[in-house]
Amino acid sequence: MSQITYSSVPAWARPGDLAETTTPAPTGSAYLLVGVGSVDEVLDRWESDLAPRATTRITGDVDSAGDALAEALSSATVGVRVWIAADAGAALQLRAIALAAGLEDDEIDVLVAPETTGEIDVFCVHCRAVNRVRAQVDDVVACAGCGRDLLVYHHVSRRTGQYLGFQVDAETAPFEPAPQEVEA
């Protein structure tokens, strides 16, 4: 049984939690609206609701949107807010970029679009490889780095947006055959 309720996985990224579909409260002076996947309707609504406030729209895959977000935040001023609409894995990565730039949790709003599905990054504690896979908490995935079967654990790094993965049967000693007697 998963302990996800007591984990570092944000409530909006947990399986089964409903996405908030309303526009977040406009508390900033400028907005970076970041979208990954089929979220144009959400971004259009946010832009309309924020008019005439300054908005910058960033879209693309998680890597290109992340690069553009980091670039935009490098020259941002006090009062900027980041609103993210994406699948949970992409949203975690984009949130990590915003946190690394110095934003606080209350300056970031996330909408996990229910019609989007995506991949998550799973960090292997054994070989340090990052595996981008379609999975969720408590799934078992193969590590591309070391080949171990990794349990996707209910821990997400705020710094990287990656889930923790460790060998699913790590507590079980591997089977070793009995040594053969050698005749002299």
| Residue, of 38 and 23, whose pLDDT is higher | 38
Whether residue 43 contacts residue 37, with contact meaning beta carbons closer than 8 Å, is answered with no
CB atoms within 10 A of CB 132: 16
Residue 19 DSSP one-character state: P
According to CATH, the topology of domain 4-112 is: Rossmann fold (3.40.50)
Domain boundaries, the chain: 4-112, 120-167
Q: What is the pLDDT of residues 117-149, one digit of tens each?
A: 678 999 999 999 999 999 988 899 999 999 999
- Give the integer Cα–Cα distance in Å for 135 and 40: 25
Match 């990052």 to its residue by tokens: 130
Model confidence at 17, pLDDT cuts 50, 70, 90, reads low
- The bridge status of strand 149-156 relative to strand 163-167 is antiparallel
Which pLDDT score, from 0 to 100, does residue 10 have? 80
Model confidence at 1, pLDDT cuts 50, 70, 90, reads very low
Which pLDDT score, from 0 to 100, does residue 113 have? 74
Which pLDDT score, from 0 to 100, does residue 172 have? 80
Which pLDDT score, from 0 to 100, does residue 8 have? 81
Whether residue 184 contacts residue 177, with contact meaning beta carbons closer than 8 Å, is answered with no
Average pLDDT, integer, range 101-117 = 85
Candidates 35, 7, 10; CA nearest to 113 is 35
Q: What is the pLDDT of residues 147-171, one digit of tens each?
A: 999 999 989 998 999 999 999 987 8
Residue 159, classified by CB atoms within 10 Å of its CB into exposed (0-12), middle (13-18) or buried (19+), is: exposed
